[in-house]
Amino acid sequence: MNKKLCIYLIILFFVFSFSAEAQNVNYNNFSGGVNLYYQGRYSEAEAIFSEILNDPSINHELKHDTLYYYTLTALDNNHTQLAIEQINTLKELGYENGRLYWKLGALFLNKDHQFDSASFDSALENLQKASKLGVNSIPFKRDLAAAYTGLNEKEKAKKLYGEIISINPTVDDYLNLALLNKELGNLETAVKYYESALDIDSTRQTIYLNLGNLYQELDNYNAAVSIYKQGIKLQKNFTPFYVGLGESYIALEKYNEAENVLKQVIEINRHSYYSYFLLGMINRKLEDYDTALDYYDQAIKYNEDYVNAYLEQGKIYLNREEYYKAISKFSIAVGKNTKHAESHYYLALAYYGADMKEAAVAELKRTLHLNNKYPNARKLLNEIEKQ
């Protein structure tokens, strides 16, 4: 063997030895990075994977595996841009993975509130890519439904949740379906889904509250009373249950029961201006106007911007033909909300009763400017203009 060939073989031996040693180091580092990833030590794992990828001598298989775990680590570490870059690199290498697109889409959903807001367009784009790559699990469908919901594509979301509950429903699946159906105007269907949610978990107070409120929208006040009472048994100091119960009793004209319940609210929270307002409404219906006025005063004490309280006081004074007191209350209501057509209309009635026709006409015109289909305002304006 000549001298030159011998030197060449020696050099070749050292090159291959060095390369094999480098590959072994990279494989060991890769294993360490994967372990760190599964321990949730994402920043440390990212650093290791980045170092491996900076070695130009790594083989194709190791590069592919490292890129995959580097992307997973970036996704779990909420490093969105880094994850996108690695997904694109994998794509250039001819590899696309549905799980990576799913996790990226889920990241854009902002489920853990790690960002300022969700990006539903980006979420849907990536989730649809995952779907095309064969991802079709129940958890994936939940994320896809959430993206459709965020983009106001309620029918598509509803269809997905329908598929989910036919296989493996959770309480949240039923609650999401209930909310979607309520927003779509399918109130009876929404009720059924809330009831199904209660069958699975009877400890969530929000289910009782939402179901009670839904019964009220359906004018099923007896059912509302029943569900609010169940909620109170679950959480005795949760005032929204008592308020809803009081509202339902008022609708059923069970004023004594309503009054007792609303007084319980005030015992729990004396600042509950709406409870004082409802007590005022009860006493007005019972024609105890002075007590009603006192309760409205209490409502205003705890919420001086509560327009409805001023309006109800003004209506009492209007019915008593105490026009200047009515004008005072309605004027405050208008000042609190200049775009509230009803306030302008009642102020016009008070002005008209006080024989201040020009002021009445001005308020009626403001009423119609805000709501040109206000029939009573149009009718009174025509009557005054004919005089």
Look at residue 61 in the predicted model and tell me its pLDDT: 86
Question: What is the average per-residue pLDDT within 356-369?
Answer: 94
Type of residue at 324: Y
Q: What is the pLDDT of residue 26?
A: 62
Sequence-distant (≥ 6) Cβ neighbours of residue 186 within 8 angstroms: none
Res. 8: pLDDT tops 80: no
3-class SS letters over the chain: CCHHHHHHHHHHHHHHHHHHHHHHHHHHHHHHHHHHHHCCCHHHHHHHHHHHHCCCCCCHHHHHHHHHHHHHHHHHCCCHHHHHHHHHHHHHCCCCCHHHHHHHHHHHHCCCCCCCCCCHHHHHHHHHHHHHCCCCCHHHHHHHHHHHHHCCCHHHHHHHHHHHHCCCCCHHHHHHHHHHHHHCCCHHHHHHHHHHHHHHCCCCHHHHHHHHHHHHHCCCHHHHHHHHHHHHHHCCCCHHHHHHHHHHHHHCCCHHHHHHHHHHHHHHCCCCHHHHHHHHHHHHHCCCHHHHHHHHHHHHHHCCCCHHHHHHHHHHHHHCCCHHHHHHHHHHHHHHCCCCHHHHHHHHHHHHHCCCHHHHHHHHHHHHHHCCCCHHHHHHHHHHHHC
Chain centroid offset of residue 375 CA: 36
pLDDT, tens only, 314-340: 999 999 999 999 999 999 999 999 999
Mean pLDDT of 18-37: 67
Read off the pLDDT band of 367 (50, 70, 90).
very high
The tens digit of pLDDT for each residue in 232-282 reads 999 999 999 999 999 999 999 999 999 999 999 999 999 999 999 999 999
Residue 297 has pLDDT above 60, yes or no: yes
The average pLDDT across 170-189 equals 96
pLDDT at residue 63 in the model: 87
Q: Check residue 2 and give its pLDDT.
A: 52
Angle at 66 (CA atoms; ends 62, 71), nearest 5 degrees: 155
Model confidence at 1: pLDDT above 80: no
**pLDDT: which is higher, 59 or 337:** 337
- Find out whether 228 and 241 touch, Cβ atoms under 8 Å: yes
Cβ-Cβ contacts under 8 Å for 308 (sequence gap 6 or more) = 277
Instruction: Determine the pLDDT at residue 52.
Output: 85
- Does residue 112 surpass a pLDDT of 60? yes
pLDDT higher than 90, residue 385: no
pLDDT score for 387: 78
pLDDT surpasses 90 at 198: yes
Cβ burial of 33 (10 Å; 0-12, 13-18, 19+) is buried
The end-to-end CA distance of the chain, in Å, is 129
Mean residue pLDDT of the chain comes to: 91
pLDDT at position 13 is: 36
